[in-house]
Structure 1
Amino acid sequence: MRVLYLSQSVGWVHETVRRPPDGLSSSEIALQDMARDSGAFTVELTQDARELTADRLNDIDILVFSTTGALPIDRETWAAIVAWIESGRGGFVGIHSAGDTALDFEGGEEAYTAFLGGRFDGHPWNQGTPIRLSNLEPSHPLAAMWPNGTDYAEEIYQYVGFDPERVRVLQALDMSAGPLRRPYPVPVTWVRQVGRGRLFYTNLGHTPSTWADPRFRDQIVRGIRWTGHRLDAPASPNQAIQDAAAITAFLSAEGLDAPASGSIPAGVPDDIRGLQALHPEKHEGDASAWDAARARIRGALTK
């Protein structure tokens, strides 16, 4: 398989994609190592999205993005990329800040968000913050290398425009651990079908140390193989699992026990997901709507 790795930054430049004057970035070197060690693909490198033309797509099988900002990709080129993926001829792998990316045309941010499955909405879990990873699908080939309850340190995004009905979430934050716990779910890794093509995204990959982690490297190699139809794994949405994870996140962060009846009123998982937009940090410190919504959810879960 032929991979094209785009690591362009339009705005913030992550350390993993910063090229020294005389060489390649740490993520570029890491991806070359993955290609060599796995034998599963070859990789070309670029930091200029203008190289992504309709003709160039004929020479590659997988696009890997570790990007930021509004990339210089016009509407026609993006339509060609999406059609290439939808046809099953191409696949897409997004890493970390691919979730903080847009396209430089009117409506490009919305188009890219709909394609990826979500858009950066801040990172309360800053670089180096201790976190615990919950593996929602322990047997899934694209998540099995991360045992459930893995303690880690990473920068973790939360997302807007995220629709649980469109993606299969493989990893999420475990809100029972770490110094920062929020009573709503935060997905970390997901997959989805795009026509006959495939998309894999992981929020992991902020630091060079993550790119050096054998588990992360294994996951990226498998993500490339899966999007290239060289590995079978389910991609259908797992909303019931995501809903259960939302309930668990709320109960863990709020210090509540699971309902004795085991019955969850309809709509509560969506109400829990809606808490993210009500957090006081988004409302100049005003916690009134946040507190009221949490009280309603607590009432629904404990009655």
Structure 2
Amino acid sequence: MPMWSIQQTATCGISSGRRAARLLAGLMLGLCLAASAHAAAAGGQPLRILYLSQSVGFVHDTVRRPDGGLASSEIALQAMARDSGAFSIELSQDARELTVNRLADIDVLIFSTTGALPIDRETWTAIVAWVESGRGGFVGIHSAADTALDFEGGEEAWTSFLGGRFDGHPWTQGAAIRLANLEPSHPLAAMWPDGTAYAEEIYQYVGFDPDRVRVLQTLDMSAGPLRRPYPVPVTWIRQMGQGRLFYTNLGHTPSTWEDPRFRDQIVRAITWTGGRTDVPASPNPEVQDIAAIAAFVAAEGLTPSRTPADSATIADEIRPLQSIHPEKQDGDSSAWDAARARVRAVLQK
């Protein structure tokens, strides 16, 4: 197994037998959590979900409603609610319906949105307080990262809340990718085995702070036709006071919404953000630092002879590569080449 494989990083040198045992244990735990979520819903009241799929910007096929019908993502969520029994679902494509008073009748908000949503500062302040108090949870799907709020400073407020903002999608619709699972036994990611080959549109982000979130999935830069020498998170979670937030970049295409693994992940995300289950949620910057180095090593085709003594410092050199990629510098590669050379020199000492 390559030195910088994400699986090896996540297990910190644990033997292959123990890795297999942990993976099996994680899968069993996931099944138990799913069963527990169903039992909790059956024994009490299902969680109350409001799904907002408003498009102020680009309209994705997954949220486009045909005449007189529902969008494919809305139909999928209705099926998840029916099949799991864990939640009931309300549908909206108008953020103005999300009032301060309505929060009292909701347990979890799900956003698959684009553009500057018509949410004023007062309502947004109430939503954040609602989450932080533990009275509500939030699930963001795909283009939730390509969203803002329609008031001065709304873009920054949204970015701070979600944990990152859309900064282009070099991996366009249907791109061949491979998903690295940083925590293969984590209940919110165990349904996606490390190294899962997939086809999706994948975002990269600005305003992303590794110290604030727990990243569960990233792009595996050792596979696929497009590889970049910096980390690209795909799924993360964060604790917000007493409340919880889940975000995944997956969900661009209708086929993803039909995928049983994606549906399983979203149901578990709903039950976790709704307070029905508990999972590890503290930030994992050290794991992310190693993943950043793994991305660089894979994309650059390096074979380091040793583990760097200060992974955090090296990772901090790698992450800014995204912002100086030639695509963002009118084709100028001078800063890009110089920065990559510095990191290569450190890793090849």
Same fold (TM over 0.5): yes
- CA 1:288–1:81 in 2, change beyond 3 Å: closer, same or farther? same
Q: Distance in 2 between matches of 1:278 and 1:243?
A: 19
Q: Which residue of 2 is the match for residue 192 of structure 1?
A: 238
81, 84, 100: which is aligned to 1:35? 81
For residues 132 and 286 of structure 2, what CA distance do their matches in structure 1 show? 26
1:115 matched to 2:154? The reply is no
Residue in 1 that maps onto 2:94: 48
Question: Partner letter of residue 260 of structure 1?
Answer: R
Aligned to 1:224: 270
The CA distance in 1 between the partners of 2:308 and 2:332, in whole Å, is 33
The answer (yes or no) to whether the contact 1:265–1:300 under 8 Å persists in 2 is: no
Distance in 1 separating the partners of 2:307 and 2:109:
47
Q: Are the structure 2 counterparts of residues 48 and 261 from structure 1 closer, same or farther at C-alpha, using a change threshold of 3 Å?
A: closer
The residue aligned with 1:83 is 129
Tell me the equivalent position of 1:22: 68
For 1:266 and 1:241, the matched residues in 2 are separated by 10
SS in 1 for 2:296: helix
Q: In 2 relative to 1, CA 132–261 (structure 1 residues): closer, same or farther, beyond 3 Å? A: closer
> Which of 290, 295, 301 is the matching residue for 1:249?
295
Partner of 1:106: 152
SS of 2:212's partner is coil
Cα distance, 1:260 vs. partner?
2.3
The AA in structure 2 aligned to 1:107 is G
Q: In 2, distance between residues paired with 1:102 and 1:234?
A: 28
Q: Separation in 1 of the partners of 2:224 and 2:175? A: 8
- 4+ long deviations beyond 3 Å: none
Residue 287 of structure 2 is aligned to residue 238 of structure 1: no
Q: List per-residue Cα deviations over 1:237-258 (Å, max 9, x = no partner).
A: 0001000000000000000013
The structure with more helix, counted as a fraction of residues: 2
Give a deviation string over 1:50-97, Cα, whole Å, max 9, x none.
001000000010000000000000000000000000100000000000
The 5 Å alignment of 1:1-303 reads 1-264=47-310, 267-303=313-349
Do the aligned partners of 1:264 and 1:301 also contact (CA within 8 Å) in 2?
Answer: no
User: Can you give the 5+ residue segments of structure 2 that lack an aligned partner in the other structure?
Assistant: 1-46
- Supply the AA of the counterpart residue of 1:252: A
Cα distance in 1, alignment partners of residues 304 and 71 from structure 2: 46
Q: After TM superposition, give the deviation of residue 231 of structure 1 in Å.
A: 1.1
Identify if the C-alpha distance between structure 1 residues 92 and 285 changes in structure 2 by more than 3 Å, giving closer, same or farther.
same
Distance 2:97 2:160 in 1: 23
Identity between Structure 1 and Structure 2 (%): 78
Which segments of 5 or more consecutive residues in structure 1 lack a partner in the other structure? Answer: none
Taking a change above 3 Å as real, the CA distance of residues 266 and 245 of structure 1, as seen in their structure-2 partners, is: closer
Q: Deviations over 1:17-71 (max 9, x none)?
A: 0000110000000000000000000000000000010000000100000000000
Root-mean-square deviation (CA, aligned residues, Å) is 0.8
Question: Deviations for 1:183-231, whole angstroms, at most 9, x for unmatched residues?
Answer: 0000000000111000000000000000000000000000000001111
Quote the residue 2:32 is aligned against.
none
User: By how many angstroms is 1:261 displaced?
Assistant: 4.9
CA–CA distance in 2 between the matches of 1:78 and 1:260? 48
